[in-house]
Amino acid sequence: MTEPTLPRPCYTHPLEILWQDEDMVVVYKPAGWLVHRTALARHETRFVLQSLRDQIGQHVWPVHRLDQGTCGVLVFALNQEACRRLAAAFMDHTARKHYLALARGWCPELVEVDYALKPDDAPEDAPAQAAQTTLRGLATLDWPEAYDPRHPSTRISLVEALPKTGRRHQIRRHLKHESHPIIGDATHGKGALNRWWAARIGLQRLWLHAHALELPHPRTGAPLRFCADWRQLSHVPEVQQWQQLLALPGWQATAHGLPDSCGLVLPLRAD
């Protein structure tokens, strides 16, 4: 099999705005960008909050976070009351998040993970916090080279993760708990596998994507759904990477299949 080389992302302004009204703005967050400045990241230069503020010419309030390596849907409030209501939707889990992840092994079509987590920086005697995530295996790939010499090939899955709680690194830690760590996860994944896979496709990155988000409008309460629709973002380098990855020969869909917003149809796996 010819080893593909995926393009490395190169972002310029402006940020991709997926939605904007008088109360909120929804953007596509590129991987590698922090949401805002922190004391621990003095060397970083790319911040969504400051870039978006300058782009639209008004103050913005962050209401949730995405990890630096994660790309996808990110919401900001445009006034303090909207910030309060949107933040409450995330706190009480009214907001529903949909992630896509590339994981080691073939993830089952449905897994309900109920595994309490301690914050990474919590004292050893701190209690673990309840954490639940629904995992759905969407597609599988049987790569014809073996990372592990005990097996004739290397199995990879496209997984949809639906977190029901909002613990830090919850999806990454729950997939690790299920023995399906995310490819490219330097903190909770397998470093040797990450490097092996990066060498196969010519790209090292965290394969975790905040694909869609559902929440009530902060003023009207109307249900809203925002999606980083790959059909509309085909010019974005990271979207191109995902689409090229899933265009590799050998991918097969489970009964769930890919969301229409991925813009791809895979052959159905025959089990």
Please give the Cα distance from 251 to 158 (Å, whole number). Answer: 9
Tokens at 222, concatenated? 């109307």
20 or 10, greater pLDDT: 20
Nearest-angstrom CA–CA distance, 191 and 140: 21
Mean pLDDT for the chain overall? 91
Most confident of 42-56, 98-112, 116-130: 98-112
DSSP 225: E
Q: What is the pLDDT of residue 8?
A: 41
Active site residues: 67
User: pTM value?
Assistant: 0.91
- pLDDT for 10 equals 44
pLDDT band at 104 (very low <50, low <70, confident <90, very high): very high
pLDDT at 44: 64
Confidence at residue 46, expressed as pLDDT on a 0 to 100 scale:
79
Q: Residue 41 — pLDDT band, cuts 50, 70, 90?
A: low
At position 38, the amino acid (one-letter code) is T
pLDDT score for 39: 58
- The set of residues, in sequence order, having a beta carbon less than 8 Å from that of 65 and lying 6+ positions away, is 35
- pLDDT score of 76: 98
In the numeric block, which tokens belong to residue 124?
A: 């050893």
pLDDT digits (tens, 9 = 90+) for 132-187: 999 999 999 999 999 999 999 999 999 999 999 999 999 999 999 999 999 999 99
What is the rounded CA–CA span in Å between residue 228 and residue 18? Answer: 8
| Residue-wise DSSP of 40-72 | T-TT---BHHHHHHHHHTS--EE-S---TT-EE
Q: Are 155 and 146 in contact (CB under 8 A)?
A: no
Q: What percent of the chain has pLDDT over 90?
A: 83
Q: How far apart are CA 125 and CA 21, in angstroms?
A: 45
Report the alpha-carbon distance of residue 3 to residue 202 in Å, rounded. Answer: 8
16-256 homologous superfamily:
Pseudouridine synthase (3.30.2350.10)
In this predicted structure, the answer to whether residue 3 has a pLDDT above a threshold of 90 is no
In the predicted model, is pLDDT for residue 255 greater than 70?
A: yes
**pLDDT at residue 4 is higher than 50:** no
Return the pLDDT at 36: 82
pLDDT band for position 9 (50/70/90)? Answer: very low
- 238 pLDDT higher than 70: yes
Amino acid letter, 143: W
At residue 13, the pLDDT reads 58
Between CA 169 and CA 128 the distance in angstroms is 14
- Mean pLDDT over 51-55 rounds to 94
